[in-house]
Each structure stands twice: as structure tokens, then as C-alpha cells.
Amino acid sequence: MFEMLLDMGGSEVSGATEIPYALVSLKLFCALLAGSFIGFERSFHGRPAGIRTYCLVCLSSAALVQAIVHMAIWVPHVTPQMYRADSTRLMQAVSEGMAFLCLGIILRQGVAFRGLTSAAAIWVTAFIGILFGIGFFALGWATFGVLLALLYLFHRIERLWRTRRYAHCHVVFSRDGNITRERFLELLAEHHLELSGRINHVAINEGKDFELDLKIRSRSHQEFSRLAETLRQQVEFKSYSIQFIRH
């Protein structure tokens, strides 16, 4: 029975007179199953969108394809001249709809953007639903497997392989105090932090204070915390902020 449904997945339905409800159910179930696994991986790592969001995205894409493919059977009085079951138009419509959803997931926190990976995963999940909807089960499951590998396995590899972490640092200190630009660079070296790029320094508050903006990097996450604790304890620094740069 299952092999027969798979054979029907790639067949043409233009000459069909009855709706293959078993095949439609299989396609929707595959889309629902794939979306649930992708959503579980995202929810497990605390990402913005969860299981329900990915299930709805994948299921709606597959259902939309089925609605267009079987429209001539569901609505007999609709002639082919009244609608166009164009696959390119369908993908364009899904892409535009997913774009609005992805924009709502991407957040900007200072200089850092969060949610880009989740937004891309939602986009791919929508096209996985389209693949299941048109009957490309093999390609749909292959794309699903590659997406999970990228999200889960590479996440584990990034954690095991200590890559450099970047952060945007902003400090304000008195111009007449003991803290200078050179002293702050020495403070970074003491915490095993490296300067990445140039330093922007501006005199503020009518020239009474200095403001430094710079990007720093380190292979250890703890070094940023140690720097923040040092800046908190030294009263010469009037304000400071350290924001991780992640995408």
C-alpha cells in the first residue's frame, strides 16, 4: 500500500476524476512529521520559533500545493482558464509569505542580529512542505536530513571547536582620571582579549569624558565576563557595555 502511494506521488493528476485522499493524507503527514522534528531541534536550543510554528509552516505549504493540484476535481465548474496552477507562482507566493514571518523572528540587539538561522530554517521548512505536496518524497526527506544535520551536528561541532568569539565594547571614562586609551588597551591584554578593527574615540559631555567604541575577540567566553567584572569594580569607568556579536 505504501509503495503504491509513493508511485502515485509523482504521477499527473490532470486527468484524474477522484481525489486520492490516502496520498494527500500521506503528504500532509510527512510534512507535519518533518516540521515537528525541525521545530523540536529549534525549541530544544531555545530559539525564537518552536515546534508549532515549524509544523504550521511545513503543513500549510504542503496543503497549499494539494489545494492547487486538485482544484479541478474539488471545484468542477472552475476551468483551467480561470486559474493557473503554475509551480513558479506557487513558490513565489510561499516565499513572500515566509519573508514576512522571517522578518518577525529576526531581532536586532544593539549591533547583534539574532534569529537569522531560525528564519532561514523556516524558509527551508516551507519548501520542504512544497516538496512533499508535489510528491517529491525522496527530495523532501533528503532536504529534511541535510537541514537537521546543519542545525544540530554543526551546532555541536561549533561548541567543540573553540572558535573566536566577538563582542562590541563601549566604555565611557573621565578625561581627567587615571584611565586612558593606552591603559584600556593594556586592560584588554591582561584579560587575554584582542582588538579587532579600529577604535572609535569621541570626546563627550563638553570634553569632560571620553567614549570608546571597539570590537574585541577571544577564544574563551569567560574572558568577556572577567572584563565586565573589572569594569564594574573600577569607579573610573562611568558606563560600559559588552554585547556579543552573533547571527
Tens digits of residue pLDDT in 41-88: 887 777 767 788 889 989 988 998 888 777 777 776 666 655 665 666
**Cα dist from 209 to 172, 185, 230, whole Å:** 7, 17, 19
Q: Does domain 165-244 have CATH number 3.30.70.260?
A: yes
DSSP one-letter code for 238:
E
**What is the pTM (predicted TM-score) of this model?**
0.64
Tens-place pLDDT, residues 144-191: 999 988 888 877 776 676 667 888 888 998 888 788 888 888 888 888
Residue intervals in the chain for CATH 3.30.70.260: 165-244
Distance of CA 59 to the CA centre of its chain: 19
Longest dimension (CA), the chain: 87
CA distance 35 to 54: 5
